Homo-oligomer: A and B are copies of this chain.
Amino acid sequence: MTGNIDDAIEPLERRFLLDHPWDAARLLESLPSDQAAVALSRQRIEVLVPVWRRLMTPIATRLLGKLPDARATELLSVLLPNEAALLLSSLPEPDRDRYLNAMDAREVSDLKKLMSYPDRSAGRLMNPVEATFRTTTTVAEAIDQLRETRSRNTRSLFLVDEENRLSSKVSIQDIVVANTDDRLQDLAKPVTAYVNPLSPQDEVVELLERDRLADLPVVDLNGVLIGVIQHAALVETIQSDATADIQTMVGASKDERALSKPLFAVRKRLPWLQINLLTAFMAAAVVGLFEATIAQFTALAVLLPVVAGQSGNAGAQALAVTMRGLALREISTSQGFQVMFKELNVGFVNGLAVAITCGVGVFFWSGSLGLVLVIMLSMVLAMVAAGFAGAIVPIVLTKLGQDPAVASSIILTTVTDIAGFFSFLGIATMLSFML
């Protein structure tokens, strides 16, 4: 055998890291971090970049700490500034300062600037501009400038005036097919969307949805171009925003993360729980109306949660489907009647089917045909009401200009609980001669 086995492994690892960064990231995440750091430390820094981008932030942060300081600093320099800022801001302060002290002064000032913007703001997502262009620049000059910056991510050239204020943009596709002596002003298109560094992430997503952009310029209050939010950050932002509805629906703030501080979570969630308690008392008051009937037939207390639970679920289904249709703009509020009609139908058919299973179960448990009749009738009634409410609540909230995600779940639960309790106990009281 000629050569050392390690000499053969290193190029293999390199190819794996470069060609399959996603799989490599999953593998590294499953290794103890010391071992992963050893494997990574024998590779050139450029080889680490693609895999680093695909590591989960907590693991990327931990691995960074395991690398020799010089290497960690080098890595922070070759990552995109917004990626480096994200990593640095999730490090404990002493580590962060150590790395920053070892970096180039200009880079440090860029990174500190990015980190100074609030969480979930456009400033956190952008990268500082690498090259600005003038309207009088020729295509040939622009191409030379692009060669220098070697930025692989430029999809639009943003043109600025004498005071560096954003004026228009030229798409890279147009540069390709242009003549080299064309001036950029001949290719320029108006900028239809831009944000400030303090603009909230929601605004970024709204503009994206509107204009389906591949990059979004960031300007300061004077209109001076200071950064660009690029495709990769945009994709992540859309995802993060689209999944946030799940949280707002149940009264957890969009800002809460899985590892937020407990007191932050309490502060955001508690108001909603307290409001919900109020509506729970309203539902309890409905049960209270029928206390005499329950005292007589305790079996009703046993079955009470079944009807309310099923109508709650059916309502949640109708709500989820309607809300998503509104969010993706597949339906307009003017189609409200169609959606309600659909949900009434679904509620009736599902109600009937669930009522039959439920009736069979109750018959075997109690042997009382009266009780079977009561629960079947009330199940159908409650599920039709739930479907109707699940459709109408988000449509009305949207019509009123509200975010249908914020309050619809609480209103819906109140409606389905009250409808469930009222129909079950009301029918039981009316038919109590049969129980």
Contact = CB atoms under 8 A, between A and B. Distances in A.
A354 B281 CA distance: 12
Contacts of A214: 155, 214, 231
Contact of A29 (B53, B301, B323, B332): B332
B176 A152 contact: no
Q: Tell me the number of copies of this protein.
A: 2
Contacts of A147: 177
Interface string A298-334: 1111111110111001101101111111111111100
Contacts of A306: 277, 280-281, 283-284
Among A58, A152, A154, residue most surrounded by chain B Cβ atoms (within 10 Å): A58
Among A190, A257, A313, A339, residue most surrounded by chain B Cβ atoms (within 10 Å): A313
Nearest to A309: B280
A342 to B, nearest CB: 5
Nearest to A139: B176
A37 interface: no
Contacts of A323: 246
Given A146-B176, A246-B323, A257-B321, A277 B152 contact: no
A269 B357 contact: no
Interface in A220-272: 231-232, 234-236, 238-240, 242-247, 249-252, 256-263, 265-266, 269-270, 272
A273 B238 contact: no
| Chain A residues touching B, majority SS | helix
Contacts of A240: 328
A287 to B, nearest CB: 5
A246 B322 CA distance: 11
Contacts of A242: 238-239, 242-243
Contact of A22 (B22, B150, B210, B330): B210
Nearest to A285: B302
Interface in A56-113: 56-59
A413 B312 CA distance: 11
Nearest to A262: B345
Interface size for chain A: under 10, 10 to 19, 20 to 34, or 35 or more residues?
35 or more
A301 B308 contact: no
Interface stretch (A40-48, A120-128, A129-137, A167-175): A167-175
Given A238-B239, A306-B280, A421-B305, A331 B287 contact: no
A222 to B, nearest CB: 23
Contacts of A212: 53, 231-232, 235
A274 B235 contact: no
Contacts of A305: 280, 283-284, 287, 304-305, 308, 417, 421
Contacts of A238: 235, 238-239, 242
A357 B174 CA distance: 64
Contacts of A431: none
Given A269-B346, A277-B306, A298-B295, A317 B417 contact: no
22 contacts: A56-B329, A58-B332, A147-B177, A150-B177, A155-B155, A176-B176, A209-B239, A212-B232, A240-B328, A245-B246, A246-B320, A249-B320, A250-B316, A250-B319, A258-B335, A258-B339, A259-B335, A266-B349, A273-B350, A291-B301, A298-B301, A305-B421
